[in-house]
Amino acid sequence: MRILVREFEEADRQALRDLYVASRNATFTWAPAGSHQASDFDLHTEGERILVAVRGSTVLGFASIWEPDSFVHNLFVHPSALRQGVGQALLASCTKYFAKTPTLKCLQANVNAMQFYKAQGWEAVREDVGPEGPYILMAKATAMQCAGI
């Protein structure tokens, strides 16, 4: 069965909350136990367009976009669905919502995500430090070249 990426529906909320916590717990191993809460999903996606990846009735992952800045704010895949094309499908589906060069921030400690984004054609623009630690601002390489960045 193939991966379908569709718009968020309110009925997805609890599954996405659970996925968000499971993915952050599995990935952000440097964060203290219990630091990720289901309510974080609501807070961290407020006002954003949310795309949901599903296979049948199973939620596999999501991406949220802050459209005014063409910024991919979140992209999370359930740990049981990693390396199955879910992240790639979500990123590809985000493209139609970008009005300018798309960007995202990736924590430097998240080595797997950094490798994933580079493999998808994203390039480092600059390094900085945020509340969760050092990160790299990335932009989509082909879009950077077209925009002259």
β-pairing, 71-77 vs 103-107, is: parallel
91 lies in the same domain as 140:
no
Side-chain half-sphere of 51: how many Cα atoms within 13 Å?
A: 26
Bridge partners for 62 per DSSP: 52, 76
Are residues 3 and 43 located together in one domain of the fold?
Answer: yes
Q: Are residues 92 and 121 in the same domain?
A: no
Whether residues 105 and 37 fall in one domain: no
| pLDDT higher than threshold 60 for residue 144 | no
Structurally, the chain folds into a number of domains equal to: 2
Q: Residue 81 is part of which domain span? A: 1-67+75-96
Q: What is the mean pLDDT of residues 123-145?
A: 85
**Per-residue confidence at 142, pLDDT binned at 50, 70, 90?**
low
- What is the pLDDT, as a whole number, of residue 125? 96
What is the pTM assigned to this prediction?
0.90
* CATH number of the domain where residue 81 is located: 3.40.630.30
For tokens 């199973």, name the residue. Answer: 58
pLDDT recorded at residue 32:
72
Could you give the 3-state DSSP secondary structure of residue 36? coil
Indicate whether 92 and 28 sit together in one domain: yes
**pLDDT tens digits, one per residue of 90-108:** 999 999 999 999 999 999 9
Pairing state of beta strands 4-7 and 58-66?
unpaired
Task: For residue range 23-79, list pLDDT tens digits in order.
Answer: 988 888 777 767 788 889 999 999 999 999 999 999 999 999 999 999 999 999 999
